[in-house]
């Protein structure tokens, strides 16, 4: 039994990254945790961590042990959790934080179905676009941009927010709809002035082709309007019928749902300079620490949203 406890402590140390952080989570003294780790290493006759003044780094043997233990302990914890809640209905308040556009247009429309399925669960939602720590703000679930991952939380990628070309129905009725990027030469395009003084370029790639394919075409948008500083005005200009523009899907979900803007050149993907931060992710506590009410909410959202284009979700629920 002591060996099993030491293995559990080792796994928590690896997740926390330091003895001090793990001791705080486990409500143990650092000395007790250090003794447990030393005993485990002596029994296995291997070093599991390389110790520095401030951090612990897993050795190859340590990483191998983590890989074997993580799934085993998760299975044990989930079995305990499932038996504990047999016959009980999930109930209580779940606190959720979400980036605004995705929360409004992809999450909120799903909630009537969730509430019907779980009548004893209430939700408290915070919609915003500022970075806020999940633990610091007391949220159970956080939906945010991919660059804001918290290392001690589970992170699930829900989708990518693509760049898309849009225009108002009025503009397209007046000027026609381009069928290829080359036809944009004959259209009014709303461009933006970048911070370095240059203007944005639009790079199009037929869908299904790799990003470095030779068939990609870069266009310098031409038009009578260039937007500086307040980039949200680009969307407003497109709604006003002043031309075509490229926008992150996040910025125009409401206008697409209302029919104020429509997508153009859907057979092409627009390649941005950096796509790493276009991910929308969902973060929550490790499953052993997750309550039943949070677990069913997370599972519901993963089933409805994971891997689905947010534009398709908006069209389906709109």
Domain residue ranges of the chain, discontinuous segments joined by +: 2-84, 92-318
Q: What is the pLDDT along the chain (318 residues), one digit of tens a residue?
A: 567 888 888 888 888 888 888 888 888 888 988 898 888 888 899 898 887 766 788 898 988 888 888 767 766 666 665 566 556 788 999 999 998 888 988 899 999 999 999 999 999 999 876 544 444 467 899 998 877 677 678 889 998 888 899 999 999 999 999 999 999 999 999 988 877 778 888 999 998 776 566 678 889 889 999 888 776 789 999 999 999 999 888 889 889 989 999 999 999 988 865 454 578 899 998 766 678 899 999 999 999 999 888 777 665 555
What is the model's pLDDT at position 317? 52
Q: Tell the CATH topology of 2-84.
A: Arc Repressor Mutant, subunit A (1.10.10)
Q: How far is it, in rounded angstroms, from Cα 64 to Cα 35?
A: 21
Half-sphere exposure of 123 (CA within 13 A, CB side): 23
The number of beta carbons lying within 10 Å of the beta carbon of residue 200 is 19
Q: How far is it, in rounded angstroms, from Cα 228 to Cα 220?
A: 16
Return the closest-CA partner of residue 12 out of 73, 60, 64: 73
Q: How far is it, in rounded angstroms, from Cα 55 to Cα 262?
A: 52
Q: How far is it, in rounded angstroms, from Cα 104 to Cα 95?
A: 16
What is the model's pLDDT at position 135? 43
DSSP state of 151: T
What is the model's pLDDT at position 20? 85
The CATH class of 92-318 is alpha beta
């Amino acid at each position: 039994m002591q060996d099993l406890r030491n293995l559990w402590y080792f796994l928590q140390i690896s997740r926390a990254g330091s003895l001090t952080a793990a001791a705080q989570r486990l409500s143990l003294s650092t000395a007790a945790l250090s003794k447990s780790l030393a005993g485990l290493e002596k029994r296995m006759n291997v070093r599991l961590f390389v110790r520095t003044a401030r951090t612990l780094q897993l050795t190859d043997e340590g990483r191998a042990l983590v890989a074997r233990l993580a799934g085993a302990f998760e299975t044990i914890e989930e079995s305990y959790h499932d038996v504990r809640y047999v016959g009980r209905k999930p109930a209580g308040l779940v606190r959720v934080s979400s980036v605004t556009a995705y929360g409004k247009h992809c999450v909120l429309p799903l909630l009537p179905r969730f509430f019907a399925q779980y009548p004893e669960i209430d939700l408290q939602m915070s919609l915003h676009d500022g970075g806020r720590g999940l633990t610091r703000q007391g949220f159970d679930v956080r939906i945010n941009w991919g660059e804001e991952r918290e290392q001690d939380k589970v992170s699930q990628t829900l989708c990518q927010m693509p760049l898309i070309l849009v225009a108002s129905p009025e503009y397209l009725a007046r000027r026609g709809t381009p069928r290829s990027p080359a036809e944009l030469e004959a259209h009014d395009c709303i461009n933006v002035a970048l911070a370095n003084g240059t203007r944005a370029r639009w790079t199009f790639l037929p869908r299904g082709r790799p990003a470095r394919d030779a068939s990609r075409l870069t266009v310098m948008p031409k038009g009578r309007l260039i937007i500086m500083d307040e980039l949200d005005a680009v969307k407003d200009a497109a709604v006003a019928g002043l031309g075509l523009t490229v926008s992150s899907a996040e910025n125009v979900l409401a206008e697409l749902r209302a029919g104020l803007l429509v997508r153009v050149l859907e057979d092409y993907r627009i390649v941005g300079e950096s796509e790493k931060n276009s991910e929308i992710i969902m973060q929550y506590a490790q499953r052993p620490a997750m309550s039943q009410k949070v677990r069913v909410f997370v599972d519901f959202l993963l089933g409805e949203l994971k891997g689905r284009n947010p534009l398709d979700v908006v069209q389906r629920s709109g």
